[in-house]
């Protein structure tokens, strides 16, 4: 309830104010002197003070000054006679909200009080809004401080840039990983902050993220190998505002992976010679050179030879993969037509396709520019893809090769209408040793290394490989190889 204090030395004025304001449902207290009024103000809070300026003893002006010290937000309406309007104006300058002249009508008093209480309500709402704003700003500042602390404590390097490539945020781990002498100034162009030649391609990738989706890239800085995850920062409307990059030190993982690769390569190399010898000796026995063997013996030796051959294939794939991971791949790049590679692959694998009554076709665009490649490696890529297509396609199916220019790349597509791959398995088919296991693939032999070799050879040619597949419909592999600069102009 609204509480009002009336301080006036005239009883008739006090009683009149109580009667008029009480009808409005407001609680009204009165004081006959300034001293009594100040005592009541100290004891209880009031929403409004009606104060007579001319009183014996402590005057209204003196009370007003003390009231402002006690309750700076209390609204004061001064009551004055006709002859003291100038004094009322002075009182308003001293902090009073309004004044009313004696004598006054009840409606005049109600209007003045209503106006003062509306002002009081507005003040209260403004205070609430201000407090909420201050609380919100404190919370924002607190959250910013938390986020800043978290980012600065992260072991991974964090970098945020805007759509123009200016540095917005970074942490100490980024400065350390990128071997920067000083932290990049906020607002500075990232390309102007990076001096290391090895990081120039990394900076270019961040710039290109404005035009695409998230990318991952390995970055070598001195003795460190970093994995950079770069993703666009989008607004609610989908507009790209910039990019956020997270750098993770994978040097230890790379070293361990290299140790494993070296071990596998060593073991595979040591096994290949004795297994080749075993296979040759089994071939000699099966050929009957050492004497006649019965049908049962021939069957068992034949299975042994098949198993030995499968082991040799696995070992050769492991050695090939080790060479690729060690960087000993694509040793003899030259400008050559892809058509020659594809025709040789089709010629070699046609007997395998015919044995299952599978249609193997090759379609080439009228004009296919040369690409820079190691023809031996590229032949291995398409031998793997076409051979897989034949193995995983039922009798009477088809495997088709298409080659065409697509933008700044040469696209070679290998498609089949075989058993296909489920969505759960599709993202793992390029992992080493991973093979799809179901009732349809159980009897199909393989090492699980063919597609990883394909992926690494294509990436060594600065290309990409994509796959689409649907169970029961078939698979479609696309290999993209960059065109030579002169060919790009012609395309």
What is the arithmetic mean of pLDDT over 420-448?
Answer: 73
Residues 303 and 396 in one domain: no
Is 143 a domain residue? no
Verdict on whether the full-model pTM lies above 0.95: no
pLDDT at position 401 is 92
Is 206 a domain residue? yes
Q: Distance (Å, rounded) from C-alpha 453 to C-alpha 379?
A: 12
Tell which of 291, 325, 359 closes a domain.
325
Q: Distance (Å, rounded) from C-alpha 130 to C-alpha 124?
A: 10
DSSP state string for 193-227: H---GGGHHHHHHHHHGGGS--EEEEEEETTEEEE
Residues 312 and 338 in one domain: no
Is there a contact between 217 and 245 (Cβ–Cβ < 8 Å)?
no
Residues 338 and 316 in one domain: no
Tell me phi and psi for residue 425, to 5 degrees.
-95, -20
Please say if the pLDDT value at position 76 is more than 60: yes
What torsion do the CA atoms of 273, 274, 279, 281 make, to the nearest 10 degrees? 120
CATH number at residue 69: 3.40.50.2300
Tell which of 106, 126, 146 closes a domain.
126
CATH number at residue 175: 3.30.450.20
What is the arithmetic mean of pLDDT over 215-221?
Answer: 78
Is there a contact between 34 and 58 (Cβ–Cβ < 8 Å)?
yes
Residues 72 and 40 in one domain: yes
User: Who wins on pLDDT, 86 or 28?
Assistant: 28
Lowest-confidence pick of 34-43, 125-134, 368-377, 436-445: 436-445
First to last CA, the chain: 84
Residues 122 and 19 in one domain: yes
Domain span at 303: 254-325
CATH number at residue 430: 3.30.565.10
Residues 456 and 478 in one domain: yes
Residues 6+ apart with CB under 8 A from 144: none
Domain count of the chain? 4
pLDDT at position 83 is 46
Residues 294 and 184 in one domain: no
Could you tell me the maximum CA-CA distance found in the chain, to the nearest angstrom? 145
Is 372 a domain residue? yes
Is 149 a domain residue? no
Summarize pLDDT for 313-369 with one digit per residue, the tens. Answer: 777 777 666 666 655 555 577 888 888 999 999 999 999 899 889 999 999 887 888
Is 136 a domain residue? no
Is 147 a domain residue? no
Residues 299 and 178 in one domain: no
Please say if the pLDDT value at position 193 is more than 80: no
The burial class, CB within 10 Å (0-12 / 13-18 / 19+), for 328 is exposed
Residues 207 and 291 in one domain: no
Residues 28 and 100 in one domain: yes
Residue 469 vs residues 196, 421, 430, 445, 466: alpha-carbon distances, Å: 42, 5, 14, 20, 10
Among candidate residues 77, 62, 67, 85, the one with its CA nearest the CA of residue 13:
77
Q: Distance (Å, rounded) from C-alpha 6 to C-alpha 13?
A: 9
State which of 226-235, 347-356, 450-459 shows the largest mean pLDDT.
347-356
Residues 428 and 350 in one domain: yes
Would the CA dihedral through 336, 337, 338, 339 be positive or negative? negative
Is 170 a domain residue? yes
CATH number at residue 313: 1.10.287
Summarize pLDDT for 275-303 with one digit per residue, the tens. Answer: 788 888 888 888 888 788 888 888 888 88
Buried b / exposed e along 269-301 (16+ C-beta atoms within 10 A): eeebeebeeebeebeebbeeeeeeeeeeeeeeb
Tell which of 296, 325, 354 closes a domain.
325
Is 138 a domain residue? no
Residues 464 and 390 in one domain: yes
């Amino acid at each position: 309830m609204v509480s009002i204090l009336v301080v006036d030395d005239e009883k008739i004025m006090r009683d009149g104010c109580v009667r008029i304001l009480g009808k409005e449902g407001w609680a009204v207290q009165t004081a006959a002197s300034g001293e009594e009024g100040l005592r009541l103000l100290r004891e209880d809070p009031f929403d409004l003070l009606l104060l007579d300026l001319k009183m014996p003893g402590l005057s209204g002006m003196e009370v007003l000054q003390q009231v402002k010290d006690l309750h700076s937000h209390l609204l004061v309406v001064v009551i004055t006679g006709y002859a003291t309007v100038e004094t009322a104006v002075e009182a308003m300058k001293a902090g009073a909200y309004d004044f009313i002249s004696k004598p006054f009508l009840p409606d005049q008093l109600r209007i003045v009080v209503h106006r003062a209480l509306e002002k009081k309500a507005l003040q209260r709402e403004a205070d609430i809004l201000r407090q909420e704003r201050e609380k919100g700003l404190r919370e924002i500042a607190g959250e910013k401080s938390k986020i800043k602390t978290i980012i600065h404590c992260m072991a991974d390097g964090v970098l945020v840039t805007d759509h123009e490539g200016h540095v917005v945020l970074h942490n100490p781990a980024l400065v350390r990983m990128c071997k920067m002498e000083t932290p990049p100034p906020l607002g500075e162009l990232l390309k102007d902050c990076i001096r290391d030649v090895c990081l120039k391609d990394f900076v270019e990738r961040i710039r290109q993220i404005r035009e695409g989706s998230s990318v991952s890239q390995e970055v070598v800085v001195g003795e460190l190998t970093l994995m950079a995850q770069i993703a666009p920062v989008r607004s609610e409307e989908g507009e790209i505002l910039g990019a956020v990059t997270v750098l993770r030190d994978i040097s230890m993982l790379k070293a361990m992976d290299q140790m494993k690769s070296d071990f596998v390569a060593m073991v595979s190399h040591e096994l290949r010679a004795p297994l080749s010898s075993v296979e040759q000796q089994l071939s000699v026995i099966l050929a009957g050179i050492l004497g006649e063997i019965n049908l049962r013996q021939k069957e068992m030796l034949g299975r042994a030879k098949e198993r030995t051959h499968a082991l040799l294939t696995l070992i050769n794939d492991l050695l090939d993969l080790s060479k690729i991971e060690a960087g000993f791949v694509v040793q003899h790049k030259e400008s050559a037509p892809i058509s020659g590679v594809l025709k040789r692959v089709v010629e070699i694998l046609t007997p395998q396709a015919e044995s299952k009554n599978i249609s193997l076709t090759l379609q080439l665009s009228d004009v296919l520019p040369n690409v820079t490649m190691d023809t031996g490696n590229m032949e291995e890529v398409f031998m793997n893809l076409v051979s897989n297509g034949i193995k995983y396609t039922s009798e009477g199916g088809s495997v088709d090769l298409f080659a065409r220019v697509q933008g700044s790349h040469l696209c070679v597509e290998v498609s089949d209408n075989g058993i296909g791959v489920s969505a759960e398995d599709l993202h793992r088919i390029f992992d080493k040793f991973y093979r799809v296991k179901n009732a349809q693939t159980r009897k199909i032999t393989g090492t699980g290394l063919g597609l990883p070799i394909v992926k690494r050879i294509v990436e060594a040619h600065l290309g990409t490989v994509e796959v689409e597949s649907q169970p029961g419909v078939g698979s479609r592999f696309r290999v993209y190889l960059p065109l030579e600069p002169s060919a790009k102009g012609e395309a």
